[in-house]
């Protein structure tokens, strides 16, 4: 079997187009322009690229983009003060503090300062709690993008066996929760899992979010399974150049799976599109209006 490749770029482009349509309606009907504020501390090159892309995509969707660059040695107090300013700014509907933060800053303290309704990353404990209890909070972008792609691919997920490899707060755990909410039978595998090949081999849906290049071997995948590869790993090739690979051994997995996301071009592009979607949702909720379809 040769898997169909789930095109995250096309999926994201489609979603961004829909978001731009919603933004247009919100402007015309309610004089509301959703606004996203991104705070970047320090000069980490990868974070700078992410923030630049977020800024570009936000503007392209017709939304307001506010960018705050802070020095590496900014104090936790100053950063928290900035977050509080944004909490109180009515033009800002979504706040994202780019992680990781420098070591002298307590990440949890900063995240917990963001008003949960503006926490478009969905990392605030209130939002994790709402996700776990079926409430209406903000859902982390990467797992939400994965569930959108899975539902698009498979339709109803009810009763399917799903395995999430990785248990981080930002990907693994919310991913498992979302799959559970879709009535999947969910297993969370992690670094202490005893027999990972066996656990993965039983799954109709495999979501890999580990951060280890090609950890999930292609021949572990059950025939006909759907594979979502969240991992983004840069490895060195024999010629000294580098390339991006996922957490799944793509070529072999693609021979067994029914559908699989590539790296790059799979989950990655979806994350920014979902961030914009979350900002639109936050803006509508702040005004107490229904989100346009």
Residues near ligand NAD, by CB under 6 A = 142, 165-168, 170-172, 189-191, 193, 196, 209-212, 215, 230-233, 267-268, 271
Least distance CB 172 / ligand NAD (angstroms): 5
Task: Say whether 54 is catalytic.
Answer: yes
Which residues, in sequence order, are CB contacts of 81 under 8 Å at separation 6+? none
Q: Considering only the C-alpha atoms of the chain, give the largest distance between any 2 of them, rounded to a whole number of Å.
A: 57
Least distance CB 5 / ligand NAD (angstroms): 16
SS3 272: helix
Distance (Å) of CA 225 to CA 52, 154, 160, 191? 35, 10, 10, 22
Task: Select the residue whose beta carbon is closest to ligand NAD and give its number.
Answer: 168
Q: For ligand NAD, which is the closer residue by CB, 12 or 184?
A: 12
Q: Which of 16, 22, 54, 118 is catalytic?
A: 54
Interaxial angle between packed helices 8-30 and 267-287, expressed in degrees from 0 to 180 and rounded to the nearest 10: 20
Q: Which of 82, 98, 204, 222 is catalytic?
A: 98
Q: Which of 22, 82, 119, 121 is catalytic?
A: 121
Place of tokens 């979902």: 274
Least distance CB 270 / ligand NAD (angstroms): 7
Task: Say whether 236 is catalytic.
Answer: no
Q: For ligand NAD, which is the closer residue by CB, 35 or 231?
A: 231
- For the sheet with 259-260, list strands across it: 4-5, 259-260, 226-229, 205-208, 161-165, 185-189
Task: Say whether 121 is catalytic.
Answer: yes
Give the active site residues.
54, 98, 121
């Amino acid at each position: 079997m040769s898997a169909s490749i789930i095109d995250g770029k096309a999926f994201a482009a489609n979603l961004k187009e829909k978001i731009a349509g919603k933004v247009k309606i919100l402007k015309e009907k309610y004089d509301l322009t959703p606004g996203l504020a991104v705070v970047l501390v320090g000069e980490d090159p990868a974070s700078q690229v992410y923030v630049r892309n977020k800024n570009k995509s936000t503007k392209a969707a017709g939304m307001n983009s506010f960018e705050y660059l802070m020095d590496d040695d900014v104090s936790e107090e100053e950063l928290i003060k900035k977050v509080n300013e944004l909490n109180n700014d009515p033009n800002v509907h979504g706040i994202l503090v780019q992680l990781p933060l420098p070591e002298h800053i307590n990440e949890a303290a900063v995240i917990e300062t963001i008003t949960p309704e503006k926490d478009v990353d969905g990392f605030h404990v209130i939002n994790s709690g709402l996700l776990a209890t079926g409430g209406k909070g903000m859902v982390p972008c990467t797992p939400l993008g994965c569930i959108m792609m899975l539902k698009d691919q498979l339709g109803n997920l009810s009763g399917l066996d799903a395995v999430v490899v990785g248990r981080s707060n930002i990907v693994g755990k919310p991913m498992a929760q979302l799959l559970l909410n879709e009535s999947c039978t969910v297993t969370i595998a992690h670094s202490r899992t005893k027999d990972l090949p066996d656990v993965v081999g039983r799954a109709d849906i495999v979501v890999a979010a580990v951060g280890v290049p090609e950890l999930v071997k292609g021949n572990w995948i059950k025939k006909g399974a759907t594979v979502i590869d969240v991992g983004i790993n840069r490895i060195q090739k024999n010629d000294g150049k580098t390339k991006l690979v996922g957490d799944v051994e793509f070529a072999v997995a693609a021979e067994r799976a029914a559908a699989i996301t590539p790296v790059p071009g799979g989950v990655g592009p979806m994350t920014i599109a979902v961030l914009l979607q979350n900002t639109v949702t936050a803006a509508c909720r702040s005004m107490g209006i229904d989100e346009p379809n």
